[in-house]
Structures are given as structure tokens and as C-alpha cells.
Amino acid sequence: MDTKRLNAYKLPYLILCGVISLFALFYLYKQEFKPLEIVVGLVSLVLFLVILWEAIIKLVQYWFSPLPKIEFAIEAVKKRNVLKTWALIACGVIAFHIFIYIVGYAVARISGRLDTGFFESMYKIWCKCGIDAPSYLGIAENWYVTSGDPMYHIVFFPFYPIVIKAFSFIFRDYFVSAIAVSIFSSIGMAITGYELVRLEFSEKTAKYFVVASFLLFGSFFYGAAMTESLFVFLCLLCLYFTKKRNFVCAGIFGALAGFTRSPGILLMVPVGIEYIRVLVEKIKFKPADSKITDKQVINFIADGFAVLFISMGLIAYLLVNYSVWGNAFQFSIFQKEHWGQQMGFFFRTVSMIAGQFYDRAIELNADSTLWDIKRAFALWLPQLVMIFGSLGVINSVKKKINAKYLCYFLLYFAFTIGATWLLSAPRYLMASITLPLAIAFILNNPEYRTYVISAMVVLNIAFLIAFTSLSPIY
């Protein structure tokens, strides 16, 4: 289907967008948000809908256009020293981790918060109160319990603690094991991301994808005792095997991603998009004199089950809830009652964050404490920057991103930003995969490269300093 035919549907889509915007306006008004907060929420919705239109166009074109079976990038067939490339990537990732650990320690010592040695200080810096790291360590050591404060650990998915437990047999320490898992996962994530983007796009874009992944706002969480590095690694493995059209491996790694964090279930969308494309190729674009064999039918069915198998990660987590509490959805009860957290519309969350920042910022005066300042400019402002920054960046290069990644980002954004009491937008969005990919396309342009990299480095270091100085960054 060509672009002209698709553009015929632009007017109905605009009308639909208008209806959605009116609904959002009415909804936010009924929620008693202030005019400025409503405007901010509606702007995020409009930016989202613009990306959605591009995703729809690309999706229809990908499914129904006679493209080659697998459109590998030209660079993917060039001879290269794979081990050398992987070793350089691994060294770069290790250097990144050493840097963030040193900066964290330096900030803690300069601020006078810690007076112990480097290794003795690691736990206090990277397992500070308020973040999820101590909960994951608790699950790794004691599994899920039903009494005391640790009973709320059921809201955290189990695969990361399981891997920590496995590593603990080697390192004999849960925190050291967690850091080791994060470092090894970061290396795997960087190498897999490089190979995936190299197949999908180009070697140049692949290099900048790795750079962008570790310069993004909040990327220091990849070195913490948190799930981000393992989750992204598993997602990239899923997408890599999807590109290779090995749906069985894609299903396995997708299920593991879903057993690590709840957004893993969303991988069914990009994998499903590729699966449907395969079906279209075999049925619509097959040679006229060829027939679909019984073996091909069996393979189609098996691949379809592999796509559905991704949901097993979430199902397994629900079974853990049931085995511990007798209720598969106990986690949602605790999230609502203990944290005031539930799913909602992302534009409502954006309005909430804007209101929180505005209220905290205008309250600042000569009597304000350092905590008041941190709450406004370390918790709420970075979330707004990351939310609108991600929407803006992806809008700027949306024509270069294919359907799988646009659709995945839209679902991931709506799912993660839709949390009603969101505190971790930078950490969530840096793991979206599509965002560093979009930044990689921008970095391909030497005219912007220096400015973009410089800005990312400054912002990320500032965010890291704020995090290690006990700012409310989660």
C-alpha cells in the first residue's frame, strides 16, 4: 500500500485525534488539574499521536509491501573482526561502570556523607534508601515473605533476584553478585544492541546506539543493583532473534524479559509484527507456482506459539503471587494501598508531574531547605525533561525508525508513564530501546554530534551527582 493511499486516511485520523484530545481535556478537567497542568498533559498527548500516525503508516507498508524477506543492512555482510569489536565494546562498558562508581564515591566523600574506603562505601551509595535495590537483594536472599516490611517485595519481579542468587554461589555476597549481574548484563546489552542495530540499519548507527545507551539521562542505573541492564539485555536478545526470524529463541528471551519487569510482555508486539510479516510473505508474495507445504504450516504454528510464549513471563510472575499469597494479583493490591500506584492515562501522569514541579518550585523561598530544592529540581523536573525529550527526539527522526520500534516505544511509553504516581520516568524511558536508537540517528549527523554528546554527558553527570548526594531520584 503506497503513501498516497494511506494519506487519504489522514483526515479521519485527525478527527479521531481531535475526539481523543477533547476526551483528555474533559478527563483532566474533571480530575481538577490546573489550566497549565492540563496544557502540559495535552501537549504530551499530541506529540504521542503524531508518532502514532507515522507508526500506522510504516506498519501497513511493512505488512503489505513486497519487501525482501530479510532486509539486512549492507554493512552486515562485510568481513570484520567480531571478537575485536566485542572486546572494544566490553572495555568501553567496563570503563563506564568504573567511572560512575568513582564519581559516586568522590561525591560521597566530598559531601562528608561517607568516610570509609571505596569498596566499603559501594553498598551505601548504590543501595540507598528509596530505590529498589535493597528489595531485590532481600528477595535473592530470602525469597518472598508474608510478614513485616519485606512482604511488599512481592511487587518486584523475580528473575533478577534469581540470577543474583545464582551468582552468589560464586561471589559469596548478594550485593557483589547484584553488581556483577548488572555489569555482565550491561556488556551483553551493549554487544547485542550493536549487533541488532547493525543488522537493522547500519554499522555507524549501531556504534552510536551503544554510545547513546550509556550517555542517556539516568544510564548510571545500569551499574546499580537494579533490573535495568538485565531487562534491556533480554529485550535486545528477543529483538535480535526476531530480526533473524528465530521466533523460538525470541519467545524464550521475551518471556525472561517479562519475568524480569512487567513491560517485557510488550515485546509480543514487535515480535508479532515480524511474525505477521512472515505470514504475508509466504501467502501473499509467494511465487505463483509454489505451494505451502505441511512442514511450513507446522513451522508457522510453532512460531505463533513462540510469540505467545512471551506472555509466560508475566504468567509465571502471577503464579509466584498466587503461591505466596493465594492471590495472583496481590502485587496490584500492595501497589495501590502502600504506594498509591495504579495504571492510568499517561497524559494524566504528565499533568500530575507538571503540577508537582510547579507547586514545589513556586514554594521555594529564603526559608526553603536543601530537600525542598532537591524535590523540585531532582525529582520532578528531570521527569518532565525525559518525557518531553523522548517524545521530541523520536518525533524528529520518526521517518528513519521502522514500525517495530515505533510501535514498541508507543506501548512502552503509555504503559510506563501511565503509572499514577510516577517517580522514575528517566530510569524507565532510558530502557525503552527506541529512544537510544533515535538519538543514534541524530548522532549520525556530524553537525549535531558534538553538541548532543556534550549535553548528554553534562546532564547525566549532573543527575549522577544528584543521585549520589541523596537526592530523591528513584
Does residue 182 form part of some domain?
Answer: yes
19 and 91 housed in the same domain: no
- Give domain status of residue 466, yes or no: no
User: Average pLDDT, stretch 259-271?
Assistant: 97
Same domain as 212, residue 304: yes
192-211 as b/e: b if 16+ CB within 10 A: bbbbbbbbbbbbbbbbbbbb
> How many domains, in total, are found in the chain?
2
Residue with cell 481531535: 18
**Backbone angles phi and psi of 419, in degrees to 5:** -60, 130
140-192, pLDDT tens digit by residue?
A: 999 999 999 999 999 999 999 999 999 999 999 999 999 999 999 999 999 99
At 373 the pLDDT is 83
Within-domain flag for 457: no
Are residues 278 and 145 located together in one domain of the fold? yes
Q: How confident is the model at residue 4 (pLDDT cuts 50, 70, 90)?
A: low
Residues 87 and 137 in one domain: yes
> How sure is the predictor about 369, in pLDDT bands with cuts at 50, 70 and 90?
confident
Same domain, 398 and 255: no
Residue 170 domain flag: yes
pLDDT (0 to 100) of residue 103: 94
Q: Do residues 92 and 163 both lie within one domain?
A: yes
Could you tell me if 21 and 47 are in contact, meaning their C-beta atoms sit under 8 angstroms apart? no
Q: Is the per-residue pLDDT at 52 higher than 70?
A: yes
pLDDT band at 289 (very low <50, low <70, confident <90, very high): low
**Residue 143 Rama label (left phi>0; alpha psi -120 to 50; beta):** left
CA-CA-CA-CA torsion for 458, 461, 462, 466, nearest 10 degrees?
170
List the beta bridge partners of residue 343. Answer: 419
Per-residue pLDDT tens for 10-41?
888 889 999 999 999 999 999 999 999 999 99
Task: Tell me: pLDDT of 7 over 90.
Answer: no
User: For residue 463, is it within any domain?
Assistant: no
Calpha distance 242→256 (Å, rounded):
15
Query: 338, 370, 394: which is the final residue of a domain?
Result: 338
Q: Over the stretch 203-213, which tens digit does the pLDDT of each residue have? A: 999 999 999 99
Residue 329: the pLDDT is: 96
Q: Same domain, yes or no, for 57 and 82? A: no
What's the DSSP call for residue 419?
B
Q: Is residue 377 part of a domain?
A: yes
Q: Which residue, 317, 338, 359, sits at the end of a domain?
A: 338
Residue 400 lies in a domain: yes
pLDDT of residue 286: 66
Q: In this structure, is residue 465 part of a structural domain?
A: no
Residue 257 and residue 309 in one domain: yes
* Cell (9 digits) for 322: 498466587
Average pLDDT, the chain: 91
Shared domain for 269 and 176, answered yes or no, is yes
What is the rounded CA–CA span in Å between residue 333 and residue 412?
A: 22
Q: What is the pTM of this model?
A: 0.94
Residue numbers of the domain that contains 108: 72-338
Residues 349 and 402 in one domain: yes
Q: Are residues 385 and 425 in the same domain?
A: yes
Same-domain status, 176 and 231: yes
